[in-house]
A and B are shown apart, each in its own frame.
Chain A
């Protein structure tokens, strides 16, 4: 609902709408290549600017997220040149291979995100609190451990266990939905 109904969307509004819709997927792609939240957000911001500048080249009706992810890919490469290894943790060959795998799995991204919501509901409230506190903006494992009354080591272990649980739950959820 990003427009006045009487007015057709102008180009800028289209851009905002598309970015709003697809930002999560673009961020997910960047985070896969640059597995650090702050760094990935920086690159997302750079990507947004380039998307904005090049938006005239985008062909309406084609896959916006895929187009923006291509721009993000080059921003990741640029970040490597600019910051050496500080942001990009893998060599370029591996980054390219991951990027290809990410493109291959992209069609499932949205369904997995939605399935995750259901899986989160199945967690014990205490586990869910730990997990979501860990992922809150500005938080981390230490803050999550403190807030939920766990030792740091226990928090690391619990987070690893919960992530695996959620990965399995999401896959199970999708296979169930696919079966019905």
Chain B
């Protein structure tokens, strides 16, 4: 800037007068003249005006409805709302997108139940090679439901179960999907690759029940029901079944061992070496990976925007001065956000309340002595515009499951995990939301703790069903598109706050697969499609 000091001062005064609506006609003329003749003056002017435009934006974030006694927070008011409204008014845009009540009350479901729903997805078709299907063809990436039968006439199909186990079917083959953790091989050949997090995954048929102990194994079932089991890596536990379906004594098979199970009993496998060699061969599959957009808060900086690609952005604002100073602690990766049970943060997040698939993944450290009142949500956001919310926290009601386990509540449904988080250690949490086909159905929720799928669904009535757990359904404020960090949505000024530390928060705009979640946990960055394809 090469303007002389006196001109700079004058220009600054004129810009301020213009911005504050206090400019006189003489001053306006003078400003116009300065802008006409000097490029430096114009640059100063443009920067000054752009700064004011930004200040309108930031000031719009001031929330007057901060709970009494709680720190004042800064929130984005999504200015685009009215623009979208105007577009809709001009009949240019069809806004048939979201804003569904994610969990309308269903009188038939007023009793608490602990069963997952039959239309839940338990796996997806993640890869294929020259597949020919019997019956309806499966499309790449298709979600596979509980109870679904996969009938492959020829070719190879890879199925990734929600627990993380990957099964490659070789046609002709038929597989029934019983749950995210088990399947029935009716006939044909499969190869299962089971990561550490999915130990316990099980494949059964009338002759044998094979429980994985962390391994890679193959099974071949013929039409008579006789089944050969080959262990390629690690170990499995194989329990033979008799004609009545009763399980006999289990045997543990180790690497390169094999066994044939038939109703008449167990025998050695013929041509074992040749068969093992065949199963060891890697089949080059076409893998299906949809692109995902991520928002990532590292919490390494005191404040600031998320690292986000174009088109998927959110901005974290410090909720209070105190939050911006001294609220960082040593994290799982560099520094983390430390919440002491009083402070919380909030980020404007256009579109977060809409009914759409998404995944949140983050590290959490809950003190071993965290008291029950400090079981406020780690994360929360509104669902649609209905005044209901979704919260991720830890369970403080022993009647709902393990005390201190990960708990996700979406309207009247809640999912409670099994690993107690209150141990003063870092745990990686990922919660995956998938909207159901039925517009008013609650989304399907999957929880991963340290990469392992866990959780039991509880559906509550609208009444306080059991214990003292608060119904986290009614929000204090409007259903704005905001992500709350460290505070429950319900309860107004008395809302429970979270005590503990959070680190490396990712939000993705689709349901991530178990390998993608493991990648985030291990490498702290999204998996590139080529890495997933090569796995």
Contact = CB atoms under 8 A, between A and B. Distances in A.
Given A12-B93, A97-B42, A117-B303, A35 B49 contact: yes
B94 interface: yes
Given A1-B351, A118-B304, A164-B12, A52 B58 contact: no
A159 interface: yes
Nearest to B40: A101
A24 B53 contact: yes
A73 interface: no
Contacts of B21: 36, 140-141
Nearest to A64: B310
Contacts of B321: 121, 125
B39 A52 contact: no
B54 A116 contact: yes
B358 to A, nearest CB: 6
A121 B318 CA distance: 9
Interface string B31-69: 010011001001101111111111111111010000000
Interface in A105-121: 105, 109, 112-114, 116-118, 120-121
Interface in B357-389: 357-358
Contacts of A17: 311
B350 interface: yes
Contacts of A159: 16, 20
A61 to B, nearest CB: 11
Contacts of B19: 35, 163
Interface residues of B, number: 77
A13 B54 contact: no
A71 interface: no
A93 B37 CA distance: 11
A102 interface: yes
Contacts of A117: 58, 303-305, 315, 317
Contacts of A131: 55, 59
A91 B35 CA distance: 11
B164 to A, nearest CB: 20
Contact of A12 (B35, B77, B92): B92
A101 B36 contact: no
Interface in B81-117: 82-84, 86-87, 90, 92-94, 97
B94 A132 contact: no
Nearest to B31: A90
Contacts of A118: 303-304
Given A1-B293, A101-B42, A117-B304, A135 B55 contact: yes
B313 A21 contact: yes
B36 A6 contact: no
B509 A5 contact: yes
Given A6-B357, A132-B62, A160-B16, A52 B87 contact: yes
B288 interface: no
Interface in B335-371: 349-352, 354-358
A19 B310 CA distance: 12
A137 interface: yes
A32 B56 CA distance: 13
Nearest to B39: A101
Given A12-B94, A31-B49, A121 B324 contact: yes
Contact of B507 (A1, A40, A91): A1
B96 to A, nearest CB: 9
Given A98-B42, A105-B47, A23 B80 contact: yes
B483 to A, nearest CB: 10
B16 A32 contact: no
B302 interface: yes
B55 A132 contact: yes
Given A114-B304, A114-B305, A90 B54 contact: no
A5 B510 contact: yes
A90 B32 contact: yes
B511 A5 contact: yes
Given A121-B303, A135-B58, A136-B62, A156 B22 contact: yes
A6 B315 CA distance: 25
Interface in B294-349: 302-305, 310-313, 315, 317-318, 321, 324, 349
Given A1-B351, A117-B303, A117-B304, A135 B56 contact: yes
B12 A160 contact: yes
Contacts of A32: 45-46, 49-50, 53
Contacts of B94: 12
A43 interface: no
A148 interface: no
B52 to A, nearest CB: 7
B12 to A, nearest CB: 5
A44 interface: yes
A111 to B, nearest CB: 10
A37 interface: yes
A160 B509 CA distance: 42
Nearest to A32: B49
Contacts of B270: none
A15 B311 CA distance: 11
A78 B84 CA distance: 22
Contacts of A112: 47, 50-51, 54
Given A16-B93, A49-B87, A118-B304, A135 B59 contact: yes
B435 interface: yes
6 contacts: A21-B313, A28-B53, A32-B46, A49-B87, A105-B43, A163-B52
Given A101-B46, A117-B315, A137-B59, 9 more contacts: A1-B509, A15-B93, A27-B56, A31-B49, A31-B52, A35-B49, A49-B87, A93-B36, A97-B35
Interface of A: 1-6, 12-13, 15-17, 19-21, 23-24, 27-28, 31-32, 35-37, 40, 44-45, 48-49, 52-53, 55, 89-91, 93-94, 97-98, 101-102, 104-105, 109, 112-114, 116-118, 120-121, 125, 131-137, 139-141, 156, 159-160, 163-164, 166-167, 170
Closest 8 CB pairs of A and B: A5-B510, A135-B59, A28-B53, A52-B92, A160-B16, A1-B509, A101-B42, A32-B49
